[in-house]
Structure 1
Amino acid sequence: MKLTISQMMALGAIGTAVIVFLAMMNWRRAVHAALIVALLEGAIRKWVFPQGSELVYFFKDIILLGAYIKFFMFPDPDVRCWRLRVPGTFIACVSLILVFFGALNPNIGSAVLAVYGLKIYLWYIPLAFMVPLLFRDEQHLTTLFFRYSLFAIPICLLGVAQFFAGPDSPINTYATSDLAGVQTVATFGAGQAARARITGTFSYIGGHNIFVVLFFIISLCLFLGMEGRRKLVLLFGNLPLLLANAFMTGSRYTVFSLLGIAAIVGLTASMSRVGKARNTFIYMLIGFIVAAGGVTVFAGKAIDAFQTRNKTAGDTFEGRVLSHPLIAVTAAAKAVDFMGFGIGTSHPATLGIRRALKLSNPKRECPYYDSEIGQCMAELGWPAFLLWYAFRTMMLMDCWASFRRSPPSIFRSLALGFTCFHLLQYSGQMVLNHTANLFLCATWGFCLIPRLESLVHRPRRARQVRQSGVTLTRQPAMRGSR
């Protein structure tokens, strides 16, 4: 049964109140839940609750709302005894500029769309300030990341099933939404051998691409930084499946990103230790051989289809990475004025929101470009655009600084991988891909762990815990609250 707008709003209001209340009870579990929902929301939108696709889209955001309220307005004692050294003035200036030059732009013509535009830019930034306090110590950090990485196995197995099922299979579909419209499933390959470009548990191809890249980074860094039998799960499970899924997406960005990450991490491992495990370069070489061998044997058709797409595509990988962003931002710079066309006006969902709420069109239609950097320039105008990408640069530099300053540890290994992730996404999607937005802010927050400072000093000697290359003082009051 198709729900009306009023029914959806009433259901959404009730659900929001309940979810926010539950999230406020334990903000750490709420953050964990939001990160898991980000992996599964596409499956819910496509197969479980398609008539409420818009409500599911905001599910993780509502969970984070409750966590934000608890963390920032009613912090626990263990939160108040820590300080995170971040350039708060600069981040506040970026936010204010986005409000004044983006959200208050009269061309938008709707307060609802202005708020939505701010949401797609700023909503996940507070998450970064919470992530450093999610972990008790390095062992706890390793356990949480390893458990989270195991989601790669069922999601990638679903991707394999989608690849062999064919484009017309019910498991190969996109999330239907009045906000984004219905889209035809994309295929790649030649003639009758054409295969569906897989989406896994995500609504669209872009979300699955981000998942494959990020979980390949997590799995590879854990493999290099961990000791014990759990490495075998990563070696024979996660890494081959993620590499196979990269080919099955038909995305050159994803495949070449994985190869580039493996090369960078491998070169770094050969020159210096990134994790506590010994002989990391040998492990890296073994992992690459196993992963490549597994993909060649079990996903040969995916490689053939990928090669066909790579040869028949109308552009090149280098063009999409370098030329397209440069062309887009140059064209947008000529079309935009000081204020831009308004924040969020080029987002695909805004047209559906206008139609659903019967809002008038903007006075000037925002042009569309085949690159997010051009879209941001067109939406924000010069001042806000420059500050936004200065903020993106700061995120990247924070990740790099965390890697450089940390001793061999799981933290250092992951900081290197997350630096690669931010570098790859610098000219790619963030605000136009909510999955990328969430994980970029979360990984940036992880790399802020060295910036934690204890504000509690007791006369008696406290037990010192070495966490991710940073010495943290664990106070007795923190034991029960965690």
Structure 2
Amino acid sequence: MKLIVGLVAVTLVVYLSYRDWRRAIKAVFLILVIDGALRKWVLPQASNAIYFLKDLVLLGAYLRYYIFSGNERVYPIKNNFINILILVASGWCIFQAANPNLGSPIVGLIGLRSYLFYIPLVWMTPSLFDSEEELYKFLRTHLLLLIPVGILGIVQFFSPISSPINQYAPGNPVKIETFGFAGSTNVRITGTFSYINSYQGYISACYALLLPLLAMKQPYWWRILTFIEVFLITLNGFMTGSRTPVIAAALLIISFFGIRALRQPDTTLLWLSRLFPFVTVAGSAALIGFRPVIEAFWMRLTSNKDLGERILFGLVGPFDLTQYTALDGYGTGATHPGTQALRDILNLAPGKMLPVEVEVEMGRVALEIGPIGFILWYGLRVSLIIALWLTFLKLKRPFLRDLALSACLIQIILFISQMVFHHTYSIYYWFFSSFIFLLPWLDYVEDWREK
């Protein structure tokens, strides 16, 4: 009976997303934010099923757009360097999914989902938005979710560690993480997300979307809401106790407005002068009303001296793993945390034991798809950064240009962080990458309308 109910539910979700692929894609960004809340508080008994909900929605949208689109406009996949590199890197990942070291190709499917499943978004978004205004309205509406999520984060921080509001998603018996100092220990918040890691990826991605909105001229109340969102997301970044979102936000702000100041010094400096009152008020409010947050984060930042070592290992460490992989690898999904559970459920062959445990994503990628795949995968990621920068340089409309710049910078800043194994940030990553095709198209459309 459970199997029948499950199949009916899966079919229904895929069918509904198939009916309207545009709404389905936009709904995925809502599901990203609320699926953790559903898993933790609403339907914990269906936690694993909810985890795959957004994938089922995307599956229906993919089927409609790429196979059964009919007379709907489909953005052509052109024969250019980026697309060729995507296809080559994807081909190698598919090849590694059948790696005999996995014990079973079924295990490789988990890896393929992590590497490839969200790539089709790159070619869909040019058909998703018909104008710059539509893109802007989607982004500002999506970012409104930061307000309830941010308020929830504040409540979590000041709630007891044992409170149900601070629990993680079921199925992974992890101790609730805390930070602070003697006599003042607080929980590291997760917002509506399942775990801290998922939330910090969301914070970084939203910062990259907020900065272009901050820099553009918006209606008065939308500008106020944007300021509130920036304040809440900054405060929540500290409350996670994670250094990554805070450092990423600082680097993003400095580089974003620094580059804008070099290209447009007069307008940027004028805008920053108008921003100064908000920074003053928000900073004062944070120091007065949320002093425990700043102190707890500062204690964590100064007590851990491994940041430089982690960055260095993230860049250099993967090359040391070639001694274990030769020219091959252990297969896509070999280091995925759900691999062992899948083997146990389906009674699959154990596969070859990994020679070493690696936490850094670049090292895990090197182990899974080998040095050839590593070069192809990170060569693709470098190429996407270059393509976003070139897109930024050639765009005419300020808002679109700022989006390209912000997407380029966040991909540089989080280059060694998790993307393949981060089910939240990975969707944003490929959405940002789609700007290579989306933004020039919208730039052309708006230019044509003005003529």
Quick one: structure 1 residues 284 and 395, their matched pair in 2 at CA, closer, same or farther if it must change by over 3 Å? Answer: farther
Which of the residues 334, 340, 349 maps onto 1:351?
340
Residue 308 of structure 2: aligned partner: 318
Contact 2:131 2:445 in 1 (8 A): no
Residues 1:88 and 1:215: Cα distance change in structure 2 (over 3 Å): closer
The one-letter amino acid of 1:71's match is: Y
TM-score with structure 2 setting the length:
0.93
Structure 1 runs not aligned, ≥5 long: 1-5, 453-466, 475-482
Q: 2-side partners of 1:37 and 1:404: how far apart? A: 33
Separation in structure 1 between the aligned mates of residue 88 and residue 72 of structure 2, nearest angstrom:
29
The one of 373, 380, 385 equivalent to 1:396 is: 385
SS in 2 for 1:370: coil
Pairwise CA distance, 1:318? 2.8
The answer to whether the aligner puts 1:91 opposite 2:89 as a matched pair is: no
Paired residues of 1:21 and 1:66 also in contact (CA < 8 A) = yes
In structure 2, relative to structure 1, the CA distance for the partners of 1:274 and 1:146 (3 Å cut) is farther
CA distance in structure 1 between the partners assigned to 2:362 and 2:105 by the alignment: 24
Q: Distance in 2 between matches of 1:88 and 1:417?
A: 22
Shift in alpha-carbon separation, 1:353–1:279, aligned structure 2, 3 A = same
Query: How far apart are the structure 2 equivalents of 1:288 and 1:201?
Result: 27
- The correspondence for 2:434, drawn from 445, 464, 467, is 445
User: In structure 2, what is the Cα distance between the partners aligned to 1:30 and 1:164?
Assistant: 36
Structure 1 residue 19 corresponds to structure 2 residue 10: no
Matches within 5 A, 1:2-17: 7=2, 9-17=3-11
Q: Contact 2:315–2:416 at 8 Å: present in 1 too?
A: no
1:31 Cα offset (Å) = 0.1
CA distance in 2, matches of 1:388, 1:123: 15
Relative distance call for 1:333 and 1:299 in structure 2 (3 A) is: farther
Match of 1:375 in 2: 364
Which amino acid is 1:96 matched to? G
SS in 2 for 1:29: helix
Contact 2:205–2:425 under 8 Å retained in 1: no
Structure 1 pair 83–112 and aligned structure 2 pair: CA distance change class (3 A): closer
Contact 1:275 1:412 in 2 (8 A): no
Take 1:469 and 1:157, find their aligned partners in 2: how far apart are those partners? Answer: 39
Measured in 1, the distance between the counterparts of 2:338 and 2:367 equals: 17
- Cα 1:282–1:469 change in 2 (3 A) is farther
Q: Does 1:46 align with 2:36?
A: no
How far residue 78 of structure 1 moved from its aligned partner, in angstroms, is 4.3
What's the % identity of the aligned pairs? 29
Q: Secondary structure at the residue paired with 1:438?
A: helix
Which stretch of structure 1 is more off in the superposition, 154-163 or 344-353? 344-353
User: Which residue number corresponds to residue 243 of structure 1?
Assistant: 234
Contact 1:224 1:275 survives alignment (8 Å) = no
User: Given that residues 391 and 440 in structure 2 are in contact (C-alpha distance below 8 angstroms), is that contact kept between their aligned partners in structure 1?
Assistant: no
Q: Which amino acid in the other structure matches residue 271 of structure 2?
A: T
Residue 416 of structure 2, aligned match among 400, 424, 427: 427
1:350-386 per-residue CA deviation (whole Å, 9 max, x = no partner) reads: 1222222232321223532131000100111111111
Query: Could you tell me how far apart the structure 1 residues matched to 2:282 and 2:26 are?
Result: 29
Match of 1:111 among 97, 105, 112: 105
In structure 2, the residue corresponding to 1:188 is in which secondary structure?
Answer: strand
Q: CA deviation at 1:29?
A: 0.1
Question: 1:401 corresponds to which letter in structure 2?
Answer: L
CA shift, 1:155, in A, is 0.6
1:302 and 2:293 aligned:
yes
Q: Does residue 234 of structure 1 match 2:226?
A: yes
Query: The residue matched to 1:125 in structure 2 has which SS?
Result: coil
Q: Which amino acid aligns with 2:417?
A: G
User: What amino acid does structure 1 have at the position aligned with 2:116?
Assistant: L
The answer on whether the counterparts of 1:240 and 1:294 sit within 8 Å (CA) in structure 2 is: no
Q: Within 1, Cα distance between the matches of 2:308 and 2:279? A: 24
1:268 corresponds to = 259
Kindly provide the amino acid, as one letter, of the partner of residue 100 in structure 2.
P
Runs of 4+ in 1 over 6 A off after TM superposition: 274-278
Q: Take 1:349 and 1:409, find their aligned partners in 2: how far apart are those partners?
A: 43
Distance in 2 (alpha carbons) for counterparts of 1:468 and 1:81 = 15
Amino acid at match of 1:65: L
User: Aligned equivalents of 1:82 and 1:340: distance in 2?
Assistant: 34
The Cα of 1:10 is off from its aligned counterpart by 3.8
Give me the whole-angstrom Cα distance separating, in 2, the residues matched to 1:473 and 1:365. Answer: 56
For residues 164 and 266 of structure 2, what CA distance do their matches in structure 1 show?
A: 43
- Partner SS state of residue 194, structure 1: strand
Counterpart of 1:97, as a letter, is W
User: How big is the shift at 1:450?
Assistant: 4.2
Partner of 1:292: 283
- What is the one-letter code of the residue matched to 2:210? S
TM-score normalised according to structure 1 size = 0.87
Contact 1:269 1:281 (C-alpha < 8 Å) held by counterparts: no
2:319 corresponds to which letter in structure 1? T
- Structure showing the higher helix proportion among its residues: 2
Partner of 2:270: 279
> C-alpha separation between the residues in 1 aligned to 2:300 and 2:341?
32
Paired residue type of 1:392:
R
Q: What is the Cα deviation at residue 410 of structure 1?
A: 1.4
Comparing 260-269 with 372-381, greater Cα deviation is found at: 260-269
Tell me how far apart the structure 1 counterparts of residues 78 and 145 of structure 2 sit (CA, whole Å): 30
Q: Spell out the pairing of 1:22-37 with structure 2 (5 A cutoff).
A: 22-37=16-31
Q: Which residue number in structure 2 is paired with residue 414 of structure 1?
A: 403
